[in-house]
Structure 1
Amino acid sequence: MRFSKLAMVGLVTLSVNQLAYADAVEIDAMSLLNQYNLITSGNVISTSEIDGNALIGGNVTGGMYNMHSTSNAVVPSLTVGGDLNGTVQTKGKGVNIGGNVSGSLNINDGGDAYMNSVSGWVQNNANGNGSTSVIGDISGSVNTNGGNTIYGGTNTGFAGANGSGTVINQPVSAPFDPAAAAANAVNTLGQFSNQLAGTDFNSNYTITGGKVTFNATPNTDGLAVFNINDGQSFFESVNEFAFNLGSATSILFNVFDDALSEYDISVNFLANSAVDLADMLLWNFVDADSLHITAQFGGSILALGTDVTTYGNIEGTLVARSLNQNAEIHSQPSGFIPPSAVPVPAAAFLFAPALLGFLGLRRRANLQKAA
């Protein structure tokens, strides 16, 4: 049995305050892939945009979040376990920053915003549907348009509230711990990745020149499973993907290597399949240490122990160790249905019910292939 790199991560124990909520909300692995467009355990550096919500365990530098979301998510548009730097813009409702805001944060579309401290600049356009809460000190500038600005520490900078809002100095706390939420989600998805990696393959592919044709022979549940061994050399030697789906409704790619590997991925998904099949495809990179994606890539990606750099758009949700983002990540809500033998672990007590108020509302099998 081969385990993905995060399979041995222990369960996260959340704080007493979080567990004190009697009806804490459980979100399982597939729900996580649909509630979020990006999940990382580490840092994100971005010069581009993410369609949907982001859950980031480390620091954030730059980027635009929840810019074109089509999901009915019940999570904040941006959740950050660490600090926020650079220029960041959000749409959708809700922001929760566990550390300090030292860059500039422009919040649109309303919703409540929480952050630990502010030494930079925060503008929350709440417009009557939210407020800005700073748990600690303000040494920079915080302004809420159409809502209250609340801080629990000392204000040596600027705190403002336009419209009907007021500035209030009183103790304040976030509805959940962003770092713990990210760690728990990563743990859940690490278990899920490992379980998927043990699923027997039932489908094969052919390679002609640099063109790969995936020939799906799904099980009775509509699931086709492909194993790609020696993943690094595979991706280095191919340049086109084509799909014969048959009756498949979900496709799982388990990608393995004998050692931690660097993947350079520049593949043309033929016939617009990167977009058209995105909701069916789930890529499980078990051993990748780094991914460099330089062309449009179709499907959601589990790469939990992996540093990802993008120069091509991703059509689906990305789960990674860290991200250096130079192209868009598009929200493609997953219709993937896991193998019935694979229990979908729940991210127990990921969020507290106060969130509603916050928002306002791998055994390795031998690969058989024909060349």
Structure 2
Amino acid sequence: MSTNVRLIATALTSLAMATASAGTSLTAAEVINQFNLVTLGDATIDSHVDGRSYIGGNLTGNGAVFAMHPNDMPSSSFAGLTVDGSASGLSVTAGGATILGNLSNSNINSGASVITGNASNTNFNGSGGSYVYGTKSGVNTNSGTMNATAAATQVSTAQSTDFASVLESTSDGLQALSSTGSYWTVSGNRVTFTAVANANGLAVFDLTAVDDTLLRYGEFQFNLGNASTVVFNSDVTSATINANFLNGSAAAIGSKTIWNFYNASNLTFNTQFGGSVLATDATMTNYNNIEGGVFVDRITQRGEIHLQPFKGDLNMALASASVSSVPEPSAWALMAAGVLVLINVGMRRGSRRD
């Protein structure tokens, strides 16, 4: 074997090992399904999150509780709580925690936990064990100690997915979807949304021309029919939503609906809201329960985030967006004709030089 071949083989082997050790990145569908809350930046939380959470910055908790309903959480290689920064003032019911910084004044009641910084005034209970890379002060390790290899694997998993890239691409893809003919009517203070689904069960509402007005109404009603995946596209930059979701519809639509606020920088929810909230550039504040996932830049959470794992077909929706962005046959014909003209001109010029 030549020296160059050996070097190439060694490089490929090292790359494979590095890729394996880094863990496998989650897809968009996996993120939306497995996580109840994802923030790309800091979070201030005074309430409960029923499912799994990823915080992309620092987490400041005041009685914050995570992974409250472990029996209902979709399976995942991620911990019940992952924080890409420091965290304090929280409890984790199940699934353990991975904190890529310091942890203080907290209780991890079940599951394996890894702290890459220091831990203080914290209890690690239940099963799974814990591993603290830094110093410990006022820490009870009732769950035992993890081995270093398992701890490193858990950290690798926590760092395996670029959540910002995945969610921003998802928002862009959903934004590209054309309306399926879904519509709304207004009567007094009530908006009724009526879904028209395509053959795949996808219903898309394009709210871009009216969202500033519609989102101010006081009552939302939904007729979703046979739609199994529902997308609301909104280009609103800022919104305060006070609408009551009628007839228990917030919980009823939560697992199949995504509100894609692709242009929002500030969102406030004062009433119970149904469906996943996707707003990767927004700071969100909720004072009432959200029935679905929350995927935002930053959050101040005052109300609960209830577990409604997304059961719609996100892959199908994103594939539909890709198809809708492909040029029509007539456009392809024009492009091909243009290329042929350029080739013909180039050949003529070449023959003249000869």
Same fold (TM over 0.5): yes
> What percent identity do the matched residue pairs reach?
32
Aligned twin of 2:338: none
2:206 is equivalent to residue 206 of structure 1: no
Matched residue of 1:25: which SS? coil
Cα gap change, 1:276 to 1:24, in 2 (>3 Å): same
1:147 pairs, out of 144, 147, 159, with: 144
- Aligned-residue offset at 1:295: 0.3
- Aligned-residue offset at 1:221: 0.7
Does the aligned pair in 2 maintain the 1:316–1:330 contact within 8 Å?
Answer: yes
1:263 pairs, out of 239, 246, 249, with: 239
Match for 2:68: what amino acid? M
- Aligned-residue offset at 1:20: 4.2
Aligned twin of 1:131: 129
Matched residue of 2:213: which SS? helix
Match for 2:131: what amino acid? S
1:76 pairs, out of 50, 66, 79, with: 79
1:219-245 deviations in Å (ceiling 9; x for gaps): 001111001125662255311111122
Unaligned runs of 5+ in 1: 1-14, 153-169, 345-361, 364-371
RMSD: 2.8
- Aligned-residue offset at 1:319: 0.2
Match for 1:239: what amino acid? G
Aligned twin of 1:327: 303
Answer with 227-236 or 237-246: which moved more.
227-236
Aligned twin of 2:43: 44
Aligned twin of 1:56: 55
Answer with 243-252 or 210-219: which moved more.
243-252
Does the aligned pair in 2 maintain the 1:206–1:214 contact within 8 Å?
Answer: yes
Aligned twin of 1:93: 95
Aligned twin of 1:193: 171
- Aligned-residue offset at 1:273: 0.5
Does the aligned pair in 1 maintain the 2:40–2:164 contact within 8 Å?
Answer: yes
**Higher strand proportion (structure 1 or 2):** 1
Cα gap change, 1:210 to 1:330, in 2 (>3 Å): same
Aligned twin of 1:301: 277
Match for 1:328: what amino acid? E
1:253 pairs, out of 232, 245, 252, with: 232
Cα gap change, 1:113 to 1:251, in 2 (>3 Å): same
Which structure would you say has the larger RCO, counting Cα contacts within 8 Å and 6 or more residues apart?
1
Match for 1:135: what amino acid? Y
1:198, 1:89 → 2: CA distance?
Answer: 39
Cα gap change, 1:61 to 1:16, in 2 (>3 Å): farther
Aligned twin of 1:350: none
- Aligned-residue offset at 1:191: 0.3
1:45-79 deviations in Å (ceiling 9; x for gaps): 01100000100110011111001230232220000
Match for 1:284: what amino acid? N
Aligned twin of 1:165: none
Match for 2:94: what amino acid? G
Answer with 26-35 or 291-300: which moved more.
26-35
1:95, 1:238 → 2: CA distance?
Answer: 40
- Aligned-residue offset at 1:22: 6.3
1:47, 1:230 → 2: CA distance?
Answer: 35
> Radius of gyration: which is bigger?
2
1:292 pairs, out of 250, 256, 268, with: 268
Aligned twin of 1:351: none
Cα gap change, 1:227 to 1:342, in 2 (>3 Å): same
1:166-189 deviations in Å (ceiling 9; x for gaps): xxxx9974633577446x022111
**Higher helix proportion (structure 1 or 2):** 2
Matched residue of 2:198: which SS? coil
1:18, 1:192 → 2: CA distance?
Answer: 29
1:86-109 deviations in Å (ceiling 9; x for gaps): x210011221100112x3120112
Aligned twin of 1:107: 108
Cα gap change, 1:18 to 1:52, in 2 (>3 Å): farther
1:149, 1:338 → 2: CA distance?
Answer: 36
